[in-house]
Each structure stands twice: as C-alpha cells, then as structure tokens.
Structure 1
Amino acid sequence: MSKKIIAIVPAAGVGKRALDVSNEGAAVPKQYRLLKGKPMLRWSVEALLADPRVEQVRVVVAVDDPRAQAVLDGLARVVVRPVGGPTRAETVSAGLADAALDNDAWVLVHDAARPGLPLSSLNRLIDICLYEQQGGLLALPVADTVKKAHKAAAFAPAEGCVLTGTAGKPATRYAVAETLSRESLWLAQTPQMFPAELLRKALLQAHRAGVEITDEASAMERYGVEPRLIPGDPRNFKVTWPSDFDLMEKWL
C-alpha cells in the first residue's frame, strides 16, 4: 500500500537578504518577487505538484500574511495555512501539527526560495526514500576548495577606496584560517523527506534543547537518524541574494 505524502513549504519569513521595495516603499518578501512574471512561491509550489504522488502542498505563512492565497489561486492540491512561527523550525513544526498527519505519512519540506527544482530530482528523492524506507535530502557534493575563515585585523583602506558593508557600516574582513577537505562535504538542498511523526519528534527535541535548526536533516541527525544524501541539481539553488533572481530566471 502506498504511503501518504504531503509537502510543507515554510514561507513565513521575509528573506531580508533579498528584500524588494515596491513603488509604495513597502518591503516585499522574496517569495513574492516575480520571476518571469510569476511569483517565486508559485514556481516552487508548482514544482512539487509535478509529481502526482504528492497528495497535497501545505504552504505555511505568517498569521498576518495577506499575499499567499492570491498568489496560489487556482492550484489544485494546495492549501495555505497562516500558522507560521518566527523561525523555520517553528514554522515547520506548526505546519506538521496543523496537518494532523497519520504516523505512517511522509512529509516533504521544500524552501519557498527554490523555484528551480527539477521533476527528475523530486522523483529521485521520493523513489529512494520510499524504496529504502529511510529519510533523505537532495544535496550536491562540494566542487570548490573550501576555506575556513576568521576575522582579519582591521586596516585603513587606500585613499579614495571606499570599503563599506551594509547600511554604510564598515565591512567585516576575513582571512583564511585553514583549508578543509571537500572529500565528504555536500551542500544541502530541499526537498527533505522524512516520516512525519519522526520529524515532528526530532524538531520537538531540538526545540526543547534550545538548538537552532536551519534544516530538517540537522534535526534528524540530532535525533540519531542518518538521512540519505540523494544527488540534486545545480538548478535547485536557493535564491538568497538580489543577483540570484537574474540567474534563476535564466534557468526557468
């Protein structure tokens, strides 16, 4: 018998590193920025709907978010739930509680800011997790040389050279502390797929321990589970910086 699979898209944040400002001066959360005329959130949700095994996509937004419902209007198998919290982990936990899933259901958690998810990657993730009955995540082996940094000593810039960080503040400078072996390093992507009840317990344990969780796999690791690393795709990168929007539009 096939297991129920639902997807949760945590979309309660604002994406401060890629905020857009409208003509009226209001900040637009990045998930609502347009890519080829379509909001990024809609692209990401449609990517999940491309696999018919995903019975429902539950988009979890902040309680005062008025945009998501209109952005996703007309999409079957999609519900918007205004139960999001201040952090990703709390938003996913709230989405799980709100869904009231059976213990044997599976959940896919996907970033609203990964609109380039290919169907082949999604198929592969679901196929392997169900076949092996083990949770896993899409990821890419690190190809570049990896440097560990430390803050560099302050210095005065050359005359006429302006070095600033954000909001006019001096930029923090870093220097190489050491070079890390990339042999066993992977870059995590989403979706990340786990049994719903196991994920709920792992997130709860991390919350009670006061541990910051940046993705679901890290909560599972703390819980004693070894998530499978399943090859993803470069197109499935996370839109983080303003320049990423132009790059993503070239992929879509």
Structure 2
Amino acid sequence: MSNKTPNYWAIVPAAGSGSRMGSHRPKQYLHLHDKPILQHTLERLCFSRITGIVVCLAEDDAYWETLILQKPVIRVNGGAERCHSVLNGLQALRQLAQPDDWVLVHDAARPCVRQADIEKLMTELAHHPVGGLLAVPVRDTVKRAASNAHQIEIVETINREGLWHALTPQMFRLETLYNALQSVLKKGELVTDDAQAIERFGLQPVLIEGHPDNIKVTHPQDLSLAELYLRQM
C-alpha cells in the first residue's frame, strides 16, 4: 500500500429505469423541491474531502443535461445491472486514482443522506484494511413469506437480532472493490450491493450506523417521505 494519503472518490450508479415508480422518466430525475433527485444526491457528495465524482448513466439518458451541478463530474456509461455500472465507474477511476484510494459508492435515489454520516463513515474507517458501509439495525419484526395463487402467507418469523438494513455510501479501496466485482461477474453471479461482492471475495466489511432517514426512493409513496426529510435538513 502506498505511503501517500489516499484520496476519496464517489461513484453514483444512475443508469436504472426505476420501473417500480411507474413514471414516464427514470426515478432519479423525478423532482423533489424543484430539483431532480439525482441533483440532490450529487449535492450531498460535493464537499471538500471528496476528490471527484463519477456518475454512471444510461447511454440514451435524455435528462442529464438538465441538471445544474455545483462542480464538474465524470460521466461514464452504465451497465445492465448496478454492479456492471459500478465496475464501469471503477475502470474510469483506475486511470485517475491510486489503487488504495477510497471509493464511496452511493445510490442515485438516496437524496437524503446526511453529510455528517458520510464524514462518519470516512473517519471511522480511514485506517481499516477493508472498509464498510452505512447501515441501520432492523427494528421491526421480520417475516419470511411465500405467495400462492391468491395471497401472501407467512412461512416463518425471523429473529431480527444481528440484522441490519444496508444503506449507502459503501466505502472500499478502489482496487479491492474492482477485483471483487470482477471476480463475481466472471463467475456469472450478480450482487445487489458492493459489500456483497467484498464478502464473496473473502473479506468482512464493517457496519457504521447511520440515520434511518437515508431512504432509497423506490416506490411513489417514498417521494413524499423524502420531501419531508429534506425539509427538515
């Protein structure tokens, strides 16, 4: 590992269509407080400790140019799935950054993340060999269910002790995350977040408790909740 103090970079995968929103445009471009969700998200990442931001977009993205950004970002093409987009972003960063630089991957549809939580993640894991992610403990009773032709039925109740909701950003060394994603994709596997790739690479990420208002806008009802949280910030 280099003796040089590592930089911090951000990658925002934003190539998804957001089909569950039932909208005519991708969810990251729906408006909150007269700004697209993606613009809010990028503004959360625009502070001095972040050296640069890579945004992974669909090739036919027709809305990106409508954003008003605080500082320039690096645009790359996204992929078929989130993990492919992140890998494309990492490939771009490998031309600019050092292998042991930190990379924070943050969901485009999490516009309410607190900068204080991002700072906490960066500070607490600055000297950790692996890295980790923001998360919150599961507070509700968890049920495993199965569907039949007419209804959804409970199969079992799961002990919530030790269960956490994974959030973003998720922060890992550039080359470690690149190698982990390359490894799972070469095996024909897909992962739903970066920590899962790191886990399958034989490493153990650390959970850093964040705030539960760091929600991911996924369904139409999430918009009003995100509006509420943003008003309180």
1:79 aligns with 2:74: yes
Q: Which among 177, 180, 189 is matched to residue 211 of structure 1?
A: 189
- CA distances 1:113-171 after superposition (whole Å, capped 9, x unpaired): 0000011110111111113343100001000000011123x35xxxxxxxxxxxxxxxx
**Which residue of structure 2 lines up, in the alignment, with residue 136 of structure 1?**
132
**Which residue of structure 2 lines up, in the alignment, with residue 18 of structure 1?**
21
- CA distances 1:180-237 after superposition (whole Å, capped 9, x unpaired): 1100100000000000000000001110111111000000000011000000111101
**Which residue of structure 1 lines up, in the alignment, with residue 146 of structure 2?**
150
What percentage of aligned pairs have identical amino acids?
42
**Which residue of structure 2 lines up, in the alignment, with residue 37 of structure 1?**
34
**Which residue of structure 2 lines up, in the alignment, with residue 190 of structure 1?**
168
Amino acid at match of 1:49: C
Q: Which among 165, 168, 180 is matched to residue 202 of structure 1?
A: 180
Q: In structure 2, what is the Cα distance between the partners aligned to 1:205 and 1:46?
A: 32
Question: Are the counterparts in 2 of residues 150 and 176 from structure 1 also a CA contact under 8 Å?
Answer: yes
Q: In structure 1, what is the Cα distance between the partners aligned to 2:32 and 2:22?
A: 14
Q: Which among 199, 203, 206 is matched to residue 225 of structure 1?
A: 203
**Which residue of structure 1 lines up, in the alignment, with residue 218 of structure 2?**
240
- Flag as ranges the 4+ runs of structure 1 deviating above 2 A: 77-81, 131-134
Question: Are the counterparts in 2 of residues 55 and 77 from structure 1 also a CA contact under 8 Å?
Answer: no
Question: Are the counterparts in 2 of residues 19 and 29 from structure 1 also a CA contact under 8 Å?
Answer: no
Q: TM-score, normalised by structure 1?
A: 0.86
Q: In structure 2, what is the Cα distance between the partners aligned to 1:216 and 1:195?
A: 11
Aligned pairs, number = 225
Question: What SS is found at the alignment partner of 1:28?
Answer: coil
**Which residue of structure 2 lines up, in the alignment, with residue 168 of structure 1?**
none
Q: In structure 2, what is the Cα distance between the partners aligned to 1:40 and 1:118?
A: 15
Q: In structure 2, what is the Cα distance between the partners aligned to 1:35 and 1:115?
A: 9
**Which residue of structure 2 lines up, in the alignment, with residue 96 of structure 1?**
90
The offset of 1:77, in angstroms, is 4.5
Question: Are the counterparts in 2 of residues 113 and 239 from structure 1 also a CA contact under 8 Å?
Answer: yes
Question: Are the counterparts in 2 of residues 202 and 223 from structure 1 also a CA contact under 8 Å?
Answer: yes
Comparing 10-19 and 98-107, the one that deviates more: 98-107
Please give the residue correspondences for 1:114-129 in structure 2 after superposition, counting only pairs within 5 Å: 114-129=110-125
Question: What SS is found at the alignment partner of 2:213?
Answer: helix
1:3 aligns with 2:6: yes
Amino acid at match of 1:13: G
Q: Which among 43, 46, 50 is matched to residue 46 of structure 1?
A: 43
Question: What SS is found at the alignment partner of 1:238?
Answer: coil
Q: In structure 1, what is the Cα distance between the partners aligned to 2:28 and 2:143?
A: 31
Question: What SS is found at the alignment partner of 2:108?
Answer: coil
Structure 1 119/74 Cα, relative in aligned 2: closer, same or farther at 3 Å? closer
Q: TM-score, normalised by structure 2?
A: 0.93
For structure 1, the 5+ residue unaligned runs are 21-26, 156-172
Question: Are the counterparts in 2 of residues 69 and 80 from structure 1 also a CA contact under 8 Å?
Answer: no
Give the root-mean-square deviation of aligned CA atoms: 1.3
The offset of 1:48, in angstroms, is 1.1
The offset of 1:99, in angstroms, is 2.0
